């Protein structure tokens, strides 16, 4: 979960509630997303509660009128703001009847002003075709924040009708700001694979990788891996990795790696960014924090020679606990043929591993030693080789 991304999304949503440009709320970046969400809900409640008595009277008056006339009054007299405030106070069936008499452009105006929490039943009863029409209108206006508030209240048919009307970049932007992101995995499951590829290309073309990373962060492991595979198959990993590095978001990207196919994972080793020492340091640091060694060690095996030297040198500076963990993973997964050639590259690393070797179980030490002999590496492992004996 990236706090920076969540905070950014919350600021965008709060700006909408306050009618203030988001760039004027930059001072809120120090606040936590939970506090910003709580503030936004308090502000929304206050705005909606402020004129509740008068709004109730309007809702009551609407009961007297046929739906067609109610629609005319909503459109020509009340306007979108007041109609939005009244919507949640109407009998839901009546609200949906009135909506059938209104053009999608006006319903889109209402949607922008509506608090979906207060009109849940009305939204649930809206026919899918009409939801699709309103979504198309909102998408034309780039009203991603408004659409994001509705996602959690729409059924699958309505969601699919809406998503068919929204382009790939729009889907990413909406996902970034949507309420109830615990539903994102299900929403993404409704998209056909070509749309998912389109979404990843949209991230690349539109500079929307942070939004894509946030999406990844809210998906199931299986679906995150599938999106990673799509990015690899579509040749987008370099762009993705460059952005992750520039934005300091390796902690979102790297945990996806274990759920990618082996072919996709190995393609990481061919990226230009793995030739950058600072990027490698950031990657290894993240791997240590998230215990991603089982997924990353096979990648290390395919790195260019210069990058392998850098990795070995960086590993020599790891904490003893991290080195112990790497050796344990190599033992558990029988990855000695990957780890030992790396160790052979750096004498400082060999020295650091000597005390680790003494903590290894006899079977693991024996297996490592045998592998080193088979590979002709035992003499090139310094003190570590001697410890494996």
Partner 1 sequence: MEFNLAASALGSELGAEPPSGLVAVLAPDELQTLADSLGTAKRRQSEALERAIKDALGHVPFVFRGAVELILL
Can you read off the two tokens belonging to residue 275?
A: 């030739």
User: Residues 170, 143: contact at Cβ < 8 Å?
Assistant: no
Q: CB 144 → partner 1: shortest distance, Å? A: 20
Is 77 or 305 the residue whose CB approaches partner 1 more closely? 77
The burial class, CB within 10 Å (0-12 / 13-18 / 19+), for 328 is middle
Q: Under rule CB under 8 A, which residues in 268-297 are in contact with partner 1?
A: none
Q: Single out the residue of 307, 371, 295 nearest to residue 337, CA to CA.
A: 371
Q: Which is nearer to partner 1, 57 or 186 (CB)?
A: 57
Residue 22 touches partner 1, criterion: CB under 8 A:
no
The CA-atom distances, in angstroms, between 86 and each of 49, 61, 385 are 11, 11, 77
Based on CB atoms, which residue is closest to partner 1, 90 or 356?
Answer: 90
Q: Which is nearer to partner 1, 57 or 100 (CB)?
A: 57
21 contributes a contact to partner 1 by CB under 8 A: no
The binder of partner 1 chosen from 11, 82, 123, 287 (CB under 8 A): 82
Q: How far apart are the first and last CA of the chain?
A: 44
User: If binding is defined by CB under 8 A, does position 3 make contact with partner 1?
Assistant: no
CA neighbor of 307 nearest in space, from 277, 337, 281: 277
**Shortest distance in whole angstroms from residue 89 CB to partner 1:** 13
* Smaller CB separation from partner 1, 49 or 182: 49
Minimum CB distance to partner 1, residue 14 (Å): 9
Residue 76 per-residue DSSP state:
I
Residue 38 near partner 1 by CB under 8 A: yes
- Residue 72 is encoded by which pair of tokens? 């005319």
Query: Interface with partner 1 by CB under 8 A: which range of 27-35, 97-105, 236-244, 322-330?
Result: 27-35
Closer to partner 1 by Cβ: residue 62 or 346: 62
Interatomic CA distance for residues 13 and 180, integer angstroms: 13
Residues in 44-73 at the binding interface with partner 1, rule: CB under 8 A? 46-47, 49-51, 54-55, 57-58, 60-61, 64-65, 69, 72-73
- Site size for partner 1, by CB under 8 A? 39
Closest among 388, 346, 384, 341 to 367, alpha carbons compared: 388
**Cβ distance to partner 1 smaller for residue 91 or 386:** 91
Q: 82 or 154, CB closer to partner 1?
A: 82
Does position 18 interact with partner 1 (CB under 8 A)? The reply is yes
Q: Give the x/- contact pattern for partner 1 in 173-202, rule: CB under 8 A.
A: ------------------------------
Distance CA 304, CA 287 (A): 19
328 and 361 Cβ atoms separated by less than 8 Å: no
Candidates 81-89, 138-146, 306-314, 330-338: pick the segment binding partner 1 (CB under 8 A).
81-89
Among candidates 369, 362, 264, 284, which has minimal Cα distance to 325?
Answer: 284
**Cα–Cα distance for residue pair 34/40, rounded to 1 Å:** 10
Closest alpha carbon to 283 in 327, 333, 241, 343: 241
Tokens representing 6 are: 């969540």
Contact stretch for partner 1 (CB under 8 A) within 39-47, 87-95, 151-159, 293-301: 39-47
Residue 20 corresponds to which tokens in the numbers above? Answer: 């203030």
Break the chain down into helix, strand, coil percent, rounded to 5.
80, 0, 20
Tell me the C-alpha distance between 230 and 260, whole Å.
9
Interface with partner 1 in residues 84-143 (CB under 8 A):
85
Pick 52 or 289: Cβ nearer partner 1: 52
| Integer-rounded Cα radius of gyration of the chain | 28
List the structure tokens of 33. 């997303």
Assess 42 for contact with partner 1 (CB under 8 A).
yes
Closer to partner 1 by CB, 17 or 281: give it.
17
> Any contact of residue 1 with partner 1 (CB under 8 A)?
no
Shortest distance (Å) from residue 383 CB to partner 1: 50
- Which residues contact partner 1 (rule: CB under 8 A)? 17-20, 27-28, 30-32, 34-36, 38-39, 42-43, 46-47, 49-51, 54-55, 57-58, 60-61, 64-65, 69, 72-73, 76-79, 81-82, 85
């Amino acid at each position: 979960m990236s706090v920076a991304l969540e905070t950014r999304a919350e600021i965008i949503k709060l700006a909408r509630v306050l009618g203030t440009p988001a760039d004027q709320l930059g001072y809120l970046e120090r606040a936590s997303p939970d506090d910003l969400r709580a503030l936004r809900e308090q502000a929304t409640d206050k705005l909606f509660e402020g004129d509740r008595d008068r709004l109730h009277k309007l809702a009551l008056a609407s009961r007297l009128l046929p739906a067609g006339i109610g629609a005319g009054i909503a459109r020509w007299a009340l306007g979108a703001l007041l109609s939005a405030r009244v919507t949640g106070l109407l009998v839901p069936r009546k609200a949906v009847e009135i909506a059938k008499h209104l053009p999608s452009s006006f319903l889109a105006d209402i949607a922008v002003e509506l608090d979906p929490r207060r009109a849940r039943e009305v939204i649930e009863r809206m026919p899918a075709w009409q939801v699709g029409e309103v979504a198309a209108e909102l998408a034309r206006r780039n009203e991603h924040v408004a659409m994001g508030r509705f996602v959690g209240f729409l059924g699958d048919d309505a969601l699919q009708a809406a998503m068919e009307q929204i382009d790939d970049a729009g889907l990413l932007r909406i996902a970034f700001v949507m309420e109830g992101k615990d539903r994102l995995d299900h929403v993404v499951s409704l998209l056909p694979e070509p749309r998912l590829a389109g979404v990843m290309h949209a991230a690349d073309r539109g500079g929307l990788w942070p939004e894509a990373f946030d999406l990844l962060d809210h998906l199931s492991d299986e679906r995150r891996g599938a999106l990673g595979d799509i990015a690899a198959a579509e040749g987008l990993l370099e762009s993705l990795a460059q952005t992750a590095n520039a934005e300091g978001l390796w902690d979102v990207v790297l945990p996806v790696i274990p759920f990618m196919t082996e072919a996709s994972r190995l393609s990481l080793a061919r990226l230009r960014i793995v030739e950058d020492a600072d990027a490698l340091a950031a990657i290894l640091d993240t791997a240590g924090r998230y215990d991603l060694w089982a997924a990353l060690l096979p990648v290390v095996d395919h790195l260019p020679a210069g990058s392998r030297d850098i990795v070995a040198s960086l590993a020599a500076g790891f904490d003893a606990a991290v080195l112990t963990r790497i050796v344990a993973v190599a033992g558990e997964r029988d990855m000695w043929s990957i780890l030992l050639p790396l160790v052979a590259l750096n004498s400082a690393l060999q020295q650091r591993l000597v005390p680790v070797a003494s903590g290894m179980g006899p079977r693991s030490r024996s297996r490592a030693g045998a592998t080193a002999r088979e590979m002709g590496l035992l003499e090139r492992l310094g003190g570590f080789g001697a410890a494996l004996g």
